[in-house]
Each structure stands twice: as structure tokens, then as C-alpha cells.
Structure 1
């Protein structure tokens, strides 16, 4: 049977890049793209780009206006009937990723949205794989070694993003008995390790935003002790690993931490990024409590372009074991590059686009 794919989250950065990698590495008879109505025009432009840069043709793509927060994904009944007999692979990436997202929005998209995608998946008679994009941070405030086989461990959560992704992953795990699932838990996604390309300057880029604004300060201190590990993973590693693990039989029924197997501490990351970007070294330590107090002010957050919630990741001493991912990727030549080796590609892209408002989150 020919492979027919269904994606949510298109034309978002990761979903678009995943489709781009897919058509280069796997035979895709057809690709269905569930797109919010307001993004249809953008999706059409992205499909044109994909066709122009590959051997695929327009007839291999179908953009379906829909909404994961609605029953049946808000697809017309006749379209749902038509495609359910064809689809072999589902990739569910649609979610809200903002650390400061309000609870009601996060729940509606991340939890109810996943519930509706699960219901759709259960109607597919020829399904070979359902790949769900979770996050390593479903571990919440847990510290110590976090295993890929663990989920419900009485943890609490640092924000509504984490808690709703946890609830959504529980829903996906609940259907894994009847559906061939693969759950992907990335670390904090950063730009391409080769080109530096990224869609948003969040995550590790909050540090660059900070350094850029305070570069003229006579002293720039460390933020807290910084002894927690920073798990920032380039998007190209996540894409390659996801596609591989979503097509090999060993991936069925497994959860994978696509995290850095050799992470640096936040203190080390802070220092090396400052050195590379400003050619300076940190002096002294600013207590995190004081930094959070400053970022509690909207004017400070907006000026620095830094979310207060990002500071929580300086203190949570979690170590993400990625044994299953490492083992099942053996022989594929897919590996997570060393963080320090790829800083050189991050900085030119950031410098080129740092004044582009579409590259920054809207800080409230």
C-alpha cells in the first residue's frame, strides 16, 4: 500500500520542515495538510515552495481547512470519509508552545485538540503509525534522571504549557494499545545546526535577546547559580530522528527523548554564548529571585524580549535519559551535535533577523 500522510501544525516551522524532509527521504503518494482557515494562504505559499524545491507536484498535496479544537477536526464530512481509507501515517504537531500561555487556551488546543486528533486516528483502518509531538518537559518540576518510559510521577508543572502537554500525552498513551503510536519528546528546540534558521527567537534565544539589550552595561552577571542542565536541541536533529523513528518497526509503542545526550549546565551555556556574541565573560551573580522580580514588570519583559517563565529552566535539575532514542537510532548516522559546535551557525541568523518583529514572541 502506498504511503499517505496526514499532518497537523502546517504551515508551522517544524511541520513544514518535517514535510520537506519527508518528501526527500520517503515515498509519499499523497500528503494531507490540516490547516487553520486563517493560514490557508500561507500554507498554499509553503506548498509552492516545497514543490519548487523538490520532485513533488501540486497534485500530491491537499490543504484541508480545519480546526483541531472542533469535533471531527471541523472537516467536511465528505472529505473525512474520502481520506480515512487512504491515510497510513499521521503526524500531530499542532499545539501552542508559549510558556506564558493562559490555561484556557493551552487546554483547548493542546488537550482538546489532541483528543479530537486521537478520535480521528481511531477511524483510520490502514494506519501504520501515529506520531505525536510531546515535549521532554511533561516531567514538570521533577528533578534527577527522567526516563523515556516514565510519565505520571506525581509531578507538578512550571506553567500551563507543560501541564497541558502532559495531559495530552496521557491521551495519546491511552490509545497506544489499539493504535501504532510513537511519541516524540524534544528538548527545547533551537535553530538548524547548519544554517541557524529558526522561526521564533524564544527558548535559548531569550539569552541573545537579553545580551543584545544589555551589551553596553559595564558588568553583566550570571543569572543565579545555573547548575541545572540546559537541553537545547537543533531542529534538524529532531526532524531527522523523528522521521527515522516514525518509520522503523522498533519505534511502535515507544516514547523518545530527543534531547542532548551530553548537555551543558545553564551556567556554561550562558558563559559561552556571551563570549561568542559579545566577546565578554559574566561577572558576579544576579540572584534569580531578583531577576524574576524585574521580569514581573511588563515594561521590563517587553524591553528585554524575555519571558519570566524562561527563568524556571535555570533551576530545575532534570536529566533527560535518552537511552531508547540513542539505541534505536544506531546505524542511522543521526546524532545530536554538540551545543558549542553549532553556536557559530546560530549567531549570524540571529543578528540578521533580530530586528524582525515576526521573529519574536509577543511579550505581555
Structure 2
């Protein structure tokens, strides 16, 4: 039968890039179905047209479905539910709120309740070949040491509500593994494309860049804390290529993958590399993280610096992600995580071009 690929999270950047890669891998065979919030329809139509034009797709090969993961049956009409049931073979659930500072009630409603609703719908699909769920490697919360793909252990605490609700959501998905062909993807901190630097928003490592750019007028800039923690950054192109490959790999069924950098850099190394590339300076001295957190507790200060205070927690977290299953199952595919240094120039170049564009800067609350 013809493949039917169903995506949540459209027209988001990761989702639209994944759609392109899935179609290319399968030689443009199959129909794309995307779930779109009513308020995002105009943006979704534009992105749909861009993908269709780029890949030479026919109009009937890319279908927008209005709905909402936070509502029962995803708020899909009865006619569409019946139609999709016989057409959908692969589900890619990416819709979530990705924000370290998100309030718990909003994160729970979207990330946990929304995933529960998707799960309930997926269980009823009669033609399903694979359900791919986008989690995060950081569901480990405050657990430290070596962290394995085979583990799903609730930590004693979480660094923020994003981590907590993504853990709860993945736990719900994992319960379906005996009944549904599932692949769980746990990315590290996603950054821009390794060759073009393209991204859709400046969060994660870009908070460091905002900090450096806005304080470059100072005669010297200190390190933030000792910076011994490893910060696991992965470019979007690696995430997209690896996810697509593993989603159609037979032995990927039932597995959870850390799409993380097997050779990550320490926070201090990343900070120094970004400073040298971005503002041509080297750090002098050290500012204790406790002082940094104090400054970022002041709303005008964190808005000026363009940094969420929650981001500093990742400068001291001493965890390391084992990604043996990912590396082994990707062997022979030609897909591997690029070295952070290799993508440094395009990353900073893209940032400098767009740093004053409000569409890339996330609201700092």
C-alpha cells in the first residue's frame, strides 16, 4: 500500500525539515498529512507550498488537517478520522512546547496531555508501521554520570518544567511499546545546520552568543563558572538525517535513541570558542555562576542579555549521554554527528546576520 506520513508540529522548523528528508529518502513516494492549529494555518499553507515547489510535489500529495493535540481525538473531524485510519502508516509526533522557562500548567497540557491524546489516536490506526516520538535526552533531569538509551528512570528532580513534562510524555509513549511499533528519538540540544548555520530561533547555545554580543563593549569578559560540565549540542541536519534513517530501519522498532554528540565539548570550551569566533576575544577571569544567576534573576537584566536564567543550570550538570545504539545502528549509513568546531563558522555567521531580527530572538520573561 501507499505510505501515509502523519506529522504533528507543523509548520515548525524541525518538522518541515523532517518532512523534506522523509520524502527524499522514500523517493517522494507517499502522502504527507500534517496536523495544524487553526491559528497557524496561514503559515502552514506557505510552508506547504514551499516544500511542494522545492520537491516538485503534486497538490494532492500534501494535505493539511486542522486539529489540536490538546483536545480529544486531536480535534480532527469525524470524516477525517475515518479517512486517516486507512491511510496513515507512519506517525511522527513532534508537537511540544520547547522552552526552559515554560510554566508547568502549559507544559503539562501540551507535552503530556497532548502526547496522551496522540497515543490514544495512534493505538486505533489499522495500517500503522511506525510511531516515532520526539523526546529529549534531558528527560534525565538532575541525574548525572553516564546515562543510557535503555534507561527510563524518573529522577529525584528536574531542572525545569520542560524536562519534567517531556519525561512524563515519554513514559506514556514507552507503555505502548508492546502493542505499537515505536521508535523514540532523544536529541541533545539542537543547534543550527552544520553547514549553513540556519536555525529558526536563538535559544540553547545562542543564549551564550546573546550574552557575548551584548557585553562585547566591556574591556574583558570572564568565564561563567568553572564550565566543567559537558554541553551536548547537535546540529539540526544530523537530527533530521538520523531520525529519518532510524524511523525506517527494521531494527529501530522498539528502540530509544540518544541523538547526541558522542564527543561533546565542555561548557568552558564552547564558551571560549564562541567568544573567539564571535567577538575575537578570550575570556579573562571567572564569574561564579551564583553571581550570574543573581543577575539573571533581575528581569530587565536577563531581557537585556537575552538569556533565560534556567540555561545556566546546564553549565554545572555533570551528565554524559551514552549513544551506543544510535552510533551502531547508523553504521554504514554515512550519517554521523559533525564535530562542533566544524560548524562554528556558519553558526556564528548566521547568528550575526539575524541577531537583530526579532523573529529569531525568543521572548525573555
Question: Taking structure 2 as the reference length, what is the TM-score of the superposition?
Answer: 0.99
Is 1:43 the counterpart of 2:44 in the alignment? yes
In 2: Cα distance, 1:234 partner to 1:285 partner: 29
**2:259 corresponds to:** 258
In 2: Cα distance, 1:349 partner to 1:57 partner: 32
Preserved contact between residue 107 and residue 165 of structure 2 (Cα < 8 Å): yes
For structure 2, which runs of at least 5 residues remain unmatched after alignment? none
**2:17 corresponds to:** 17
Preserved contact between residue 47 and residue 58 of structure 1 (Cα < 8 Å): no
CA RMSD, 1 decimal:
0.7
**1:227 corresponds to:** 228
In 2: Cα distance, 1:156 partner to 1:56 partner: 47
1:18-67 deviations in whole A, cap 9, x for unaligned? 11111222143211100010001100000110011112122101101100
**1:301 corresponds to:** 302
1:230-252 deviations in whole A, cap 9, x for unaligned? 10100000000000000010100
In 1: Cα distance, 2:196 partner to 2:310 partner: 28
In 1: Cα distance, 2:222 partner to 2:29 partner: 51
In 2: Cα distance, 1:180 partner to 1:136 partner: 21
Number of corresponding residues:
364
In 2: Cα distance, 1:163 partner to 1:338 partner: 29
Preserved contact between residue 222 and residue 282 of structure 1 (Cα < 8 Å): yes
Preserved contact between residue 142 and residue 155 of structure 2 (Cα < 8 Å): no
For structure 1, which runs of at least 5 residues remain unmatched after alignment? none
Preserved contact between residue 139 and residue 155 of structure 1 (Cα < 8 Å): no
2:303 is paired with a residue whose SS is helix
**1:126 corresponds to:** 127
Preserved contact between residue 112 and residue 168 of structure 2 (Cα < 8 Å): yes
Report the Cα offset of residue 155 of structure 1.
Answer: 3.4
In 2: Cα distance, 1:34 partner to 1:155 partner: 35
In 1: Cα distance, 2:248 partner to 2:63 partner: 22
Question: Taking structure 1 as the reference length, what is the TM-score of the superposition?
Answer: 0.99
Report the Cα offset of residue 153 of structure 1.
Answer: 4.4
1:78-106 deviations in whole A, cap 9, x for unaligned? 11011111110000000000000000000
Preserved contact between residue 4 and residue 28 of structure 1 (Cα < 8 Å): no
**1:362 corresponds to:** 363
Pairwise mapping of residues 194-209 of structure 1 onto structure 2 (< 5 A)?
194-209=195-210
Moved over 6 A (4+): none
2:183 is paired with a residue whose SS is strand
Report the Cα offset of residue 219 of structure 1.
Answer: 1.3
2:227 is paired with a residue whose SS is coil
Preserved contact between residue 186 and residue 233 of structure 1 (Cα < 8 Å): yes
**2:90 corresponds to:** 89
In 2: Cα distance, 1:221 partner to 1:331 partner: 43
